[in-house]
Structure 1
Amino acid sequence: MSGSSSRRARTAVSVALATLSLTVLAACSSGSSSDVPGGKKPAGEDVAKQAQSAPDTAILPGSTMEKIKQRGYLIVGGSQDAPLWSQLNPISGRTEGFDAEMGRMLAKYIIGKPEVKIVSSATETREALLQNGTVDVVFQTYTITPKRAEQVAFAGPYYSSGQAILTKKGAGGIKLPADLNGKTVIAGANTPAIAAIKQVAPDAKIVTFGSDPECVAALRQGRGEAYVQDQALLVAAVKDNPDTTVVGEPFTADPYGIGLKHDDAAFKTFVNDWLRKIAQDNSWQQAWKQTLGTVVEGNPPTPPAIGGVPGS
């Protein structure tokens, strides 16, 4: 996700975050949080606890995988304020969401248990955190681009986001991008959504607003029949506005990758092999259902092809 998109996402959830306790705010400001033993965890099993572990032969001597296994936990660069992706739960003290669950599943695969330490990272710091070895991986809606791939490596893509459609719950009539034809469609001013709408629905009437909260408010007020924006932002909007829903899958491509240190071919191969396995054994789909799938209508999407985009 771009820096501007990340800022818009933070703005969209700022009101909700303001309600967190002082304890949670202090934890967030410390720069890292931990899901390693000692924190209070919710009852019940999650996807990561039931996920598979790597065979001993896959943990090569002297490799990054061996270093992580010997340490006993995976260090992930990520967020704590991204609803449905990676957000700190103030009650359990646990980070929840699709990215967070993916990090725990990777930890389980390497270590044999889903132990993760999350180091807060930002768009401007992700590359540095990987380059200097502060984190092992980055899970943070990290869009794969050839330019970024000059500084870091990417496993994946593990998720394909892109422009998607938000409507009022129960509105009906819009299931596919072509259904936007003849409708009044809301978009953020100067965002990629405008060109995307024109491409798939040239007869749509586009109205623009300056921010994501304004766009969502306009939809809820009936000033448009749909709102088009990056799916990662829309799922955050649904979290705070349960009278809205995301319909269908993204209709443009924004591939998210797992950030890795550059020139660690063995670790990249290992992580890509893991991604293929969790797609085959349905773990990826289960993680989607329990996170993004709670607000995105329909069945889990097909995981993207590994190495299928430039820079991966």
Structure 2
Amino acid sequence: MSTSLRTRGLAATAVAAAAALLLSACGDSSLPAASGTDADAYQQVIANAPVAAAADIPAGSLMAAIRDRGELVQGGTDTAAIFSLTDPATGKTTGFDAGLAAMLAKYITGKPAVKLVQVQVGSREALLQSNAVDAVIATYTITPQRAEKVGFAGPYYSSGNAILVRRGDTEITEVGHLNDRTVCTQTSSTAAQNIAKFAPSARIVLFDTNAQCVQAVQQGRADAYVIDQALLLGSAYREPDKVKVVGEPFTAEPYGIGTPPNHPEMKTFVNDWLRKIQADGSWAALWRATVGTTVEGEVPAPPAIGSVPGS
């Protein structure tokens, strides 16, 4: 597990301190929650999501079992704003990962019915190997080591170190703009090495926690904060009037959809589905309704399927 993954796990908990932590949640994921999504746009994306042709789901496949069951069992989380957060008032889970799960469920079953099973970093492979879940969609970074244990469809999203600045800052929009500026990051992360690599004249300041880094930016003690984008999105969601995320990640952390190793047909099927939603604009529409509500700029090009080791 990378340091950024450990850091993101801690931050996800902080993002949703007010949210109910469920062992599992079941139901129609088409209705948006207060998770940093554009509610109307999110609902429209799910409503317009495609449905697979009968010929695409062969008898005896995992997809056929999911269709007959009537819901997708997703390994995921419900504590990460922007990606997958449950609204305790409605019980609905929304965000980029949650939206993908709802769209995949609809593609297979004809309706966005998802049963969410909570996963931890250390439990994802075991749940897939035991067929306790049909897929893991949970900012799950593809690595060759993990790919020896499970199947990885994708990548479907490329994250990595990104930049958070004060809301009114218009001068910093990319990593090169960090040169000759004061940039903070967390002591326990690898971001300091990346700042030194991509902005060698930046003045690096280290803090112990995410909250301290965000506060330093807000108070002007640091010009920017660099850490994994998923963590920064949560911070920007909590403080939208004070800070913002700019540009695209400048390091690579490719997220994949984990599939059971004894069902290789599921990996192939999910890859074909990802290509479909990329081509028809659904992926871009979901990005705009979720990640795009916090990250400024144009919709990024989705990563090419099978483009990283382990995919």
Structure 1 segments (4+ residues) deviating >2 Å: 2-20, 39-46
1:195-254: CA deviations, max 9, x gaps?
111111111111111121111111111111011111011001111111111100001100
Aligned to 1:103: 101
Secondary structure at the aligned position of 1:222 is classed as coil
Per the normalisation by structure 1, the TM-score is 0.92
Which residue of the partner structure matches residue 54 of structure 1?
52
CA distance in 2, matches of 1:221, 1:41: 33
Single out whichever of 117-126 and 7-16 deviates more from structure 2: 7-16
Percent identical residues: 48
More deviation, 218-227/263-272: 263-272
What amino acid does structure 2 have at the position aligned with 1:258?
I
Unaligned runs of 5+ in 1: none
Task: Kindly state the Cα deviation for residue 92 of structure 1 after the two structures are TM-superposed.
Answer: 2.2
1:33 partner amino acid = A
Counterpart-to-counterpart distance in 2, 1:230 and 1:128: 26
Q: Out of 166, 169, 172, which is 2:167 matched to?
A: 169
- 1:127 corresponds to: 125
**What is the distance in 1 between the residues matched to 2:62 and 2:56?**
11
Which residue number in structure 1 is paired with residue 299 of structure 2? Answer: 300
Name the counterpart of 1:144: 142
Aligned to 1:262: 261
Which residue number corresponds to residue 36 of structure 2?
A: none
Number of residue-to-residue matches in the alignment? 303
Moved more, 136-145 or 210-219: 210-219
Report the Cα offset of residue 10 of structure 1.
Answer: 4.8
- In 2, the alpha carbon distance for the partners of 1:15 and 1:273 equals 35
Q: How far did 1:4 drift?
A: 4.9
Distance, in Å, in 2 between the alignment partners of 1:215 and 1:153 is 36
CA contact (8 A) 1:41 1:93 kept: no
Alignment of 1:106-255 (within 5 A): 106-242=104-240, 243-255=242-254
In the TM superposition, what is the alpha-carbon distance from 1:185 to its structure 2 partner?
A: 0.7
Structure 2 length as normaliser, TM-score?
0.92
1:32–1:119 Cα contact (<8 Å) kept: yes
Q: How far apart are the structure 2 equivalents of 1:127 and 1:269?
A: 18
Residue 166 to residue 16, structure 1, CA distance change in 2 (3 Å): closer
Matches within 5 A, 1:2-151: 2=1, 4-12=3-11, 14=13, 17-20=16-19, 25=20, 28-29=21-22, 31-36=23-28, 45-151=43-149
